[in-house]
Amino acid sequence: MRKNFGVKPWVYPQPVLMIGTYDENGKPNLMNAAWGGQYDANQVMLCLSSHKTTDNIKATGAFTVSFATASTVVPCDYVGIVSAKQEPNKMEKAGFTTVKSEFVNAPIIEQLPLTLECKFLKCNEDGNVIGEIVNVSADESVLTDGNVDYKKLDAIIFDPTAAAYIRLGEKVGNAFKDGAKLK
Amino acid sequence: MRKNFGVKPWVYPQPVLMIGTYDENGKPNLMNAAWGGQYDANQVMLCLSSHKTTDNIKATGAFTVSFATASTVVPCDYVGIVSAKQEPNKMEKAGFTTVKSEFVNAPIIEQLPLTLECKFLKCNEDGNVIGEIVNVSADESVLTDGNVDYKKLDAIIFDPTAAAYIRLGEKVGNAFKDGAKLK
């Protein structure tokens, strides 16, 4: 038996996208969003409503997307519920520090180890932000043998059914390989 | 120090979207995709290349999106690497059985407990499939007190940096709440 829940935004799970931008004065800002995803091999899509971030993306033509981690869950949640319009010092209050991306006019958040550095392409016909990934960078602290190590990264996901943040657990399989057993 | 990886499709992590459709003869099909996400409060976006699934979505005007789980990782990977164009009996080989959605002309996969039942709205200007979520249903086996219980659901994610499937681990926080501690 199945239970019907009606219309719910329950793509499961959702990433915790941390969107970094500069404002018109070069001041860094960061917000948190769960609605978005890979839009093409070199593109990301973000579904944002009106935010300081959307103004900044349009003004600078760039943004970064990092991913919340277990150790940064409190400040990552904080920047999602407090707008720079109300709290100009939100980055300092969150404890986030930044350096400028080498590739685009947007900040890298030093406490968030994996980052997509994106050029703003357009708002599409439905008003969603589309960005081109021009580089991905990762802090060496989350690498093993030069590759991203998910245990070191310790990224979290958003569970939309319970508004919970959950870390990743055990590896259970290999994509494009495990299914071959049934061929 | 950060390492630059260049252009990579590394939104992190990605959902393992299991897309169910009927073909023009009412035969169920299922594929697996990681590029997609919540597109609006009642809409999902899928980035699919040409597949039997895209033909089916256009023909029937509907699809379902379920989510791969730890116990179904092998058949979920299998349906992603084998096309119904080559293997007409892929659903049987995978061990998946279906019932028709009450809401749309698309199959519910009985082995996948959480499902978005979607009406096909359009392919957007970039060729991505946009669907309207008209119902979400969940098998009672994954509910606790009437709500989805992530431990019972045991959904997996796709780690694009390692092509790995990883299950969820511990809950580490509450969205829209934990950040208030810094206010």
In angstroms, the separation between the Cα of residue B111 and the nearest Cα of chain A is: 12
| ipTM for the complex shown | 0.97
Assigned domain for A3 exists: no
Using a CB-CB distance cutoff of 8 angstroms, which residues of chain B are in contact with residue A78? 178-183
Q: What's at A155, amino acid-wise?
A: A
Does A14 contact B38 at a Cβ distance shorter than 8 Å?
yes
Assigned domain for A18 exists: yes
B150: domain CATH number is: 2.30.110.10
Assigned domain for A4 exists: no
**Cross-strand partners of B97:** none
DSSP assigned state of A81:
H
Assigned domain for B4 exists: no
Quick: pLDDT tens for B87-114: 989 999 999 999 999 999 999 999 999 9
Assigned domain for B82 exists: yes
**Cross-strand partners of A139:** B2
Would the pTM of this model clear 0.80, i.e. be above it?
yes
Whether residue A105 contacts residue A87, with contact meaning beta carbons closer than 8 Å, is answered with no
pLDDT-derived band at B54 (thresholds 50, 70, 90) equals: very high
pLDDT-derived band at A50 (thresholds 50, 70, 90) equals: confident
Assigned domain for A49 exists: yes
Nearest by CB: B176 against A2, A47, A81: A81
* Domain range for A141: 14-182
- How much is the pLDDT for A168? 98
Using a CB-CB distance cutoff of 8 angstroms, which residues of chain A are in contact with residue B75? 179, 182
Count of structural domains within chain B = 1
Quick: pLDDT tens for A13-23: 999 999 999 99
Assigned domain for A9 exists: no
Q: Is A174 left (phi over 0), alpha (psi -120 to 50) or beta?
A: beta
Quick: pLDDT tens for A59-96: 999 999 999 999 999 999 999 999 888 898 999 999 99
Mean pLDDT score across all residues of chain B: 96
